[in-house]
Amino acid sequence: MQNIHRNEKGFTLIELLIVIAVIAIIAAGVFVALDPAQRFQEARDSQRWSDVNAALNAVKTDQVDNGGTYVASVAALTDGNYYIIGTDATGCNAGCTAQTTQAACVDLTALVTEGYLGSVPTDPSGGTAAKTDYYLMKAASDVIEVGACDPEAATTISASR
């Protein structure tokens, strides 16, 4: 009688299927927990906060450097009215969900020319130089408010000073 020993090293099909199922469950849990769509919205909103603050700082720094006088395009605004930042000659009154805006645009390219702003910010979801999807309001009390027209994850994105 011959004793035959099998050298069985390796995994059975059932063991492999169980490991694959466990990995799939963990991957699905991680994917749901991370929610990439939400992370992209938050990243775009973070860019909007940065843009709003950059524009506000540029307007106020220019005002301080010029003895309290705003750049001409801001000085010409009617107090208390909201204007979309842009250069569109046909008007900027459409597309802002955060505020009801006036037909005219407020052009901040002079702040770029004067070195207060690297470039006029545009919304990361499709703003253009003509209609940036950001708004500006000058109050009679000398307060400037800059905000994003269409925030995603945040309810509002605006800063004033």
In-domain check, residue 9: no
Residue 4 has pLDDT above 80, yes or no: no
Residue 82 has pLDDT above 90, yes or no: yes
Cα–Cα distance for residue pair 46/119, rounded to 1 Å: 17
67-89: average pLDDT: 95
Q: How many domains does the chain have?
A: 1
Q: Which sign does the torsion angle of CA 126, 122, 97, 88 carry?
A: negative
Is the pTM higher than 0.95? The answer reads: no
* Angle of the 36-65 helix axis to the 13-34 helix axis, nearest 10: 30
Report the share of the chain in percent with pLDDT over 70: 95
Cα–Cα distance for residue pair 77/146, rounded to 1 Å: 14
In-domain check, residue 76: yes
In-domain check, residue 86: yes
Residue 3 has pLDDT above 90, yes or no: no
- Residue 158 dihedral angles phi and psi, to the nearest 5°: -155, 155
Pull the structure tokens for residue 87: 């250069």
In-domain check, residue 81: yes
In-domain check, residue 47: yes
Cα–Cα distance for residue pair 147/157, rounded to 1 Å: 6
pLDDT in tens, 92-143: 887 889 999 999 999 999 999 999 999 999 999 988 999 999 999 999 999 9
Residue-range definition of the domain harbouring residue 107: 34-160
